[in-house]
Structure 1
Amino acid sequence: MNAVAARPRFSGHETFACRFAWLPKAVRLIARDPAALVDDERAILELGLGKNMVRSLRFWLEAFGVASARSGRWALLPFGDTVFGENGLDPFIERVETQWLLHWQLSTAVEAPLFAWRHILFKRMRADFTRSELLSEMRLEGERLGYEHSDVTLLQHADVFLHSYLGSLSAASPEDALDGPLVDLGLVQRAGRRRGGVERIEPVFTLARVPIVDVGAPVVDFAVASYWKARRLGESVLTFRDLAHGEGSPGATLRLDPEDLRDHLEHTTELWSYRPSGEAGNVTAVVPLDPDARLREIYA
């Protein structure tokens, strides 16, 4: 049975995309003093960031599934501890696989998904868009879901998505120009200009298709196991269509070409059994689903 997404998140990032150094710096602070990040003034002093950036950092820690706050203290979540903790597999985000994992974590939350990520990656039919087109779509989708957010809130949320993958489009300060951990993925690209919905020429952005060789086959296997466990738990067989196109699926989230994904599933016989069926196909897990094992295999 499909998991039903809870209330989406439209804000909390304080209009800042996550910076490369924020997650490792926050993890070290949590290890040193789990209560420090709760208090604005202490966090500002410890992290060397402004108040709004500290609040943004807290948002991204939770959005990436790295850490969360409970009872006045911050603690690492399982993913955060495995990758960024004391014996973490890549505590300083030195490998591109970690960047893909962060994109996966950010994009596939079942509870409280980020509205812009969910809309752009899973709800749109076309890969290309302008900011005004995106704003119009998000307004309609938000209203359909029963929300009445202002255009300012929606556009800020859309811009944070763009800045997360492209860097700042018009840096107002050196801090704004710093890249985040998702920029190197090349997942969002500039694609010229065209007349937008407000009758002016605007930049066009497009979602790229990414070869599995660039993502890494172990990352794809982790994504398959994670999707299966989070959204199809209890089902012994998944359709290829689900894995290639479903909301939160490996294909849609990692922007994989369907035939590339099909070829991967056919040849990774130690994990998956792919059986063609008409234009689609069915996939069965050969070994028990274990996203944690697949996560560690990425860094083996």
Structure 2
Amino acid sequence: MGWAHAAVLGLLQGLPEFLPVSSSAHLRVFSALMGWPDPGAAFTAVTQLGTETAVLIYFRKDIASIISAWTAALYRPERRKDPDAQMGWFVIVGTLPIGVLGAAFQDTIETSLRDLRITGTALVVFGLLLALADRSRAIRYPRPITELTWPHALIYGCAQSLALIPGVSRSGGTISAGLFLGYSREAAARYSFLLAMPAVLASGLLELLKISEGPAPAWGPTLLATAIAFLIGYAAIAWFLKFISHNSFTPFVIYRVILGAALIALVTAGVLSPGAGAAG
């Protein structure tokens, strides 16, 4: 793998990961168009560490408060109503659906759902759902994150599990669910990021376990890609949260629809095969 190749993959790993546009779709499509082979489990695992580190550092204060309060509430009943302690449980409950469904349908996810026609359709359909959710949210009195409930946490989690379908987008699915439930854009996005951390960390650990299955990566380009994924990912989180505090999701919706339609057209025209860009 060359340095330029690694830099582009690092960019594609870091930028779309936290935006509602589907990072898996971008990695698949760009690799297919460029004719690049699967970079391997080792490369994927190490570069994912970059994006994971970005979200952990950005939300370090939130994470520290949640872990501290949740741990204290285990043996101090008076702390159980602490919003941070409750958030710890909400994140755990919200993570269950993607864990259960991911394990139950692993073979289907890694085979038939990798079809680029499904990816293109998911980009368009869930892009339009994001637009509908943004329009239907409670504009006058949007819910803050402090009003999160157990049923809502579970609904968020079910929405996140849809990201097992390439093209849906983890953040796009969870944010759409939050908007439909009446939460503000900022509240929906913040809980989406907090909810994603266990799933992203688990995904990274699974990839790390696969390192021995393939050849060792070129460590120089791999570390470059990891650094780029971290820097771009951190910047993307900061920019995204600031952007949506004053703007709608319309630019992301338009981009998703155009990308999805173009992808379907390329497959239909025979430029790309339905299985192009899938991991080997």
TM-score normalised by L of structure 1: 0.23
Q: Name the structure, 1 or 2, with higher relative contact order (CA <8 Å, separation 6+).
A: 2
